[in-house]
Each structure stands twice: as structure tokens, then as C-alpha cells.
Amino acid sequence: MTLLTDEDFARLRDLRAFEPDTIAHNLATRRRRDVLRGDGRLFIVAADHPARGALAVGSRPTAMADRYELLDRLAIALSRPGVDGVLGTPDIIDDLAALGLLDDKIIVGSMNRGGLRGASFEMDDRYTGYDVPGMVAAGVDFAKTLIRVNLADAGTAPTLTATADAVTQAAAAKLPIMLEPFMSDWVDGRIVNDLSTDAVILSIAIAAGLGNSSAYTWMKLPVVPDMERVMEATTMPTLLLGGDAGVDPDETFAAWEDALSLPGVRGLTVGRTLLYPPDGDVAAAVDTAAGLVHPAGVPAAL
């Protein structure tokens, strides 16, 4: 199944070359919606991986390298009922805006992608994407940061400082901001996130204290064993991180369903698992996840 045509992509290329102001116009004039409405839950499709040099999906090392294929998969996902929005870096969001795919969708702007996959400076995760003033000006609805805390790497310190500044700025602008925290370590020359229950709880405690106000802070957390204990560690609204798909998609969906029933969990933010499912059927994978987030059907506008 494809949704976008060669003509769509030709128009996108021409618009970027000859009419770049159209992107800002489309963002400013799109139909917007409340962040939370109806059942108060969110299903966000994530696509900010390429900007950090993370192009792999499963055994395919360059799966996300083809921008046209990625945009088509995103278009399919955004066309499905129950998908509330998209998370991306400015290049992704601008492409989607140019294609006219963001009406009635929540836009989540990804802020720090400077900690490139495999780089010696990976833990110094610079803020190289959106900033708060830019998101406010563009009408972006939500901000997102990645916070990997490595107690043995000094690069963590500037990342924490920059994230605290972002939280402070977002709160002042009344812009919701989701923090995606991990305890991380160098293992055989690469960064590995600790997905033990205790490590996730510790990461929440560190992230929750950043900035001079937490009023607009959300959490974006992985699904790990004993999620009840994890959710007891925060009062902040939480979206579940999909992560990489396991061997058995049904097992992944079942884990999401269990975690979605916990107090404080407001929905899912999932990327590669749904955009590149093992059977290639993006619509079916997205529909399954949407049914977990919105079990009573697509919520009506308030």
C-alpha cells in the first residue's frame, strides 16, 4: 500500500526549491486541535530517529534512509483513525506540512539530536533541532527531549543543563514538553540503555527535577517489567515509548495494552515498530496500536 505519488514528491521538491515560505504558511494555517480531547489519550507516531544517525530497523541497517519511503509510511499512519499526531525533527515536520498532512494533528517537535549514534561525543546530546521560541512561532503543539544519563561520562552534564533550560522555557511558554529519560552506559564502544525497572525509576527521578517548573512536563517511558512500580515513581502524564519491535509483535502489543491500563499513562509514542512492521503492513500495525490507545474508538473533539 502506498499513499503518496511521484507527483506529490515532485511538488514537494519544487516547493522546497521555489516556494519555501509555503512551509511556514502551511504550519501557521493548518487546522489545530487541543492536545488532549475526548478520552484524554494520545497516540503519536515518532520519526525523529534519522537526525541522530539512527537509520536501522531490525536487521535493515539503512531502513529509514529512503526519505520518500519514510514519508509515505508516515502518510499512511497519519491517515488512520486514532492517530493523534507525529513526533519529528524540523525536516520531517516541514515535509509533512508541505504535503498538507498535518491538519487536526498534534505536532511534537524533537529538540536534541546532537548525540549522534556511535559518536565519541554521543552523551553530549546537543540541542540541534527545534528550540522553544521556534516551536511557539511555528505553532508546534508539544516539545520532546531525550535525556540519557551516564554517570561515567561527563557529556551528561551539559545535556542535563540544556534540558533544564528547555523545560524552563517550555513552561514559561505553556508548551507541554515530554522528557524521555534513560540510565545509560558505554558497552563495547556503544551506548546501551539500562531497561531494568530500578534504572527507569532512577531516570524518572533525575528528569522530573529539571527546570524551574514541572507544570508542563510529561514523561515518555519504555515498557519494562513491573510497570506498576515505574508509574508509582511519577505523577506526571506519561506516554509509553514503543522501542524496537520484539520477535513476536503480538507479545509487544500485549505488553503495551497492559501498561496502558495503569494510572497516569496517557497513550503511546511509537515509531519504527509501527512504521516498519515485519509484514510491511503499516496500516494494520497502526490500527492495532490505535485500538489499544483508544479502545472506545476515535475520540470526538471537545
> Is the pLDDT score of 245 beyond 60?
no
Please state the rounded mean pLDDT for residues 57-71: 91
| pLDDT-derived band at 59, boundaries 50, 70, 90 | confident
pTM of the model: 0.93
Cα 108 to Cα 34, 86, 105, distances in angstroms: 13, 6, 10
Residues written for the chain: 302
| pLDDT-derived band at 147, boundaries 50, 70, 90 | very high
Q: Which residue has the cell 540510565?
A: 183
Average pLDDT across the chain, whole number: 93
The partner residues of 238 in beta bridges, in order of sequence, read 219, 265
**Cell digits of residue 210:** 529539571
In the chain, which residue ranges form alpha helices assigned H by DSSP? 6-18, 21-29, 67-79, 90-98, 132-138, 156-172, 197-208, 227-231, 249-260, 272-275, 282-293
CATH class of the domain whose range is 6-293: alpha beta
| Calpha distance 151→186 (Å, rounded) | 10
pLDDT tens, residue by residue, 184-200: 999 998 999 999 999 99
What is the predicted pLDDT for the residue at 296?
81
Please state the rounded mean pLDDT for residues 209-228: 97
Which residue in 161, 174, 159, 260 sits closest to 217, CA to CA?
174
What is the predicted pLDDT for the residue at 248?
72
| Calpha distance 61→78 (Å, rounded) | 25
